Amino acid sequence: MKQSSRRVHRFAVLGVAAALALGVASGAAVVLPADDVRAEDVPGAVAFFDAKFAVMAKGCADKLFSVAADAKAQQFYQFACETAQQVIDDWDPDHAGARELLGFIRPPKSKEWVADPKANVQRQNMKNEKEAQASFDARVKKWRESRAKVDQFVAAKYAQIGAECAAKGYDEQAKKAAERALALDTDCEPARKMLGYARIGKLWVTKEKAAAITKASEGKPVEGKSKLEEVLGVSLNKIASAHFRVEDEGTKDALVDAVKGLETMYAYYMADIGRDPTEDVFGGRVLELCVVSKKETWDKWVDGVSGFKDKKWLKESNTYRNLADLRTGTLRVETAEHVDTRDPLLHHAAHILNYVIWRAPKTAWIDEGLAYYYTVKIQETTRTHCVAKEDGGYAQGPAVGGEKDWTVSERWKPFLKNIVVKKSDVELRKILNTPLATLDLPSSVKAWGVISWMMDAKHDTFVAFLKEMKDWKENGKEKQEDVLQRLFGTSVEAIDAEWRAYAVRAY
């Protein structure tokens, strides 16, 4: 088997003058990027790009090969072969190390690489039987992290070429270089900015959408007396943004930050599921959120606003959501360490988004898990929960799992790791089928852990699952776990085992 060091489309040879200027031997093969990058729109643009690309090629090839060699040393033969092949395909068809790793030799006086019949190239990752699975998984994770760092290095090089092309007025080459950078590192800031993106929190969007999101999050005070104030007989601070209206008995200054957090969460939520962050899912309406500080005011809200039948229970629960009318009410929970302002607003707004987009309340683990996920994504903590009525009340705390106080979210990861190690966590299959009225706090936190893991590691499959669950009927042909197993291609127990391994490793 022969392989040429010159490839149509992906590889080319520099001209003599350019090659000599770069210190490259005349006639030597140099990898150039695909033709879409090299399309010439300005005289000299392609030659300039090619020259810059050739300078970076060797360093990038060597960086990439270093992780291939490391993979081989750890018996990650699949990773080693895949990475070595990328060195050859994308950077240097004559890279001796990569060729040898893949079992090629170059006969004397030949320009062709041929398969070495004596080579024994292994292409499957291997694990020593004596090594614990957790140890093996940790090594794989560490290798993947080193590979990601190389991708970031190469992306930075592409972004640098893009900047130099832009400075010369070679806009097409600058754009393509930036696009290549983002293909390797979606968070490459120079490339993002070169392509006209702006950052909103953790989200990159076009400048136009960033401006729209920023404008949407600029809450404006609402003047005059509201109907809610008339019913409650108190004065409330009122603020409204594009998608939310908040009336709060607390401090006025906190509302500006609260509305900004709500709009940022809205944008994150939409972007996570592949929808335009500026899209209006409320159909021209706004979500109304009320937070009161006194029990007597909350009781008035329940009697005069909620429309809920079991008013005695609702007064004890401290929160209520009217999904159809886009209205929520909450009694602020104050503790020695913390006074809620944004927290209940974010939590309940996430629940409303779950309903509007996914009809999620029929699946409690998804509804509560996503509410935790987006609240923590915005403020890195949460104290609000909506779980079993008999465990500390609905949306109030503390509710206790064993001897641990699960109401403090900063403790969730070590708590989850502890119960997984002890094999005392509730099985995922049981959590899937537990209604909100009996979902205890530790189980809801495990739901958050599983959903957070899926959003990061199995994002597209999980979003596809959410889309199917929107139209899922409890008494339909498929059970919820059947849909999950079909889309993930494995059993609920296997998914549970994979998450448990991740929790032990990562938490």
Measured between its terminal Cα atoms, the distance across the chain in Å is 48
Backbone angles phi, psi at 112, to 5 degrees: -100, 145
Q: Is 166 helix (H, G, I), strand (E, B) or coil?
A: helix
DSSP-based three-state secondary structure for 368: helix
- Euclidean distance between CA atoms 56 and 92, whole angstroms: 11
- The DSSP code sequence of 180-212 is HHHHH-TT-HHHHHHTTEEEETTEEEEHHHHHH
> Token digits for 11?
């590889």
Instruction: Give 411's DSSP letter.
Output: G
Residue 322 scores a pLDDT above 50: yes
State the pLDDT at residue 5.
Answer: 40
Parse the chain into domains and list their residue ranges.
Answer: 2-195, 203-358
Contacts 24+ apart (CB under 8 A), 101-108: 101/68, 101/69, 101/72, 104/3
How far apart CA 392 and CA 405 sit, in angstroms, is 11
The CATH number of domain 203-358, selected from 3.40.50.300, 2.30.30.40, 3.40.30.160, 3.40.50.1000 = 3.40.30.160
Q: Counting beta carbons within 10 angstroms of the beta carbon of residue 30, is it exposed (0 to 12), middle (13 to 18) or buried (19 or more)?
A: buried
CB-count burial class (<10 Å; 0-12, 13-18, 19+) for 475 = exposed
Per-residue pLDDT at 42: 65
pLDDT at 497 over 70: yes
How confident is the model at residue 359, as a pLDDT?
86
The rounded distance, in Å, linking the Cα atoms of 408 and 405 is 7
pLDDT at 391 over 60: no
Nearest to 289 by CA among 236, 367, 337: 236
Instruction: State both tokens at 389.
Output: 């009525």
Question: What pLDDT score does 21 carry?
Answer: 27
Specify the higher pLDDT residue, 143 or 254.
Answer: 143
Q: Give me the pLDDT at residue 506, please.
A: 84
- Residue 105: per-residue pLDDT: 94
pLDDT in tens, 6-35: 332 222 222 222 222 222 222 233 333 444
Q: Indicate the range of 191-200, 384-393, 448-457 predicted with least confidence.
A: 384-393
Model pLDDT for residues 27-55, shown as the tens digit of each residue: 233 333 444 444 545 678 888 998 998 98
Per-residue pLDDT, 199? 84
3-state secondary structure at position 319: strand
Contacts of residue 117, Cβ cutoff 8 Å, sequence gap at least 6: none
SS (H, E, C) 413-459: HHHHHHHHHCCCCCCHHHHHCCCHHHCCHHHHHHHHHHHHHHHHHCH
Kindly state the percentage of the chain with pLDDT values over 90. Answer: 53
pLDDT tens sequence across 56-76: 999 999 999 999 999 999 999
User: Cα(186)–Cα(156) distance, rounded to whole angstroms?
Assistant: 11
Over residues 260-319, the pLDDT tens digits come to 999 999 999 998 998 988 999 999 999 999 999 889 999 999 998 888 888 898 888 888
Residue 360 — very low, low, confident or very high, per pLDDT cuts 50/70/90?
Answer: confident
Q: Which residue has the higher pLDDT, 391 or 150?
A: 150
pLDDT in tens, 165-187: 999 999 999 998 999 898 899 88
> pLDDT at position 144, please?
93
Each residue's pLDDT tens digit, 458-482: 999 999 999 998 888 765 678 899 9
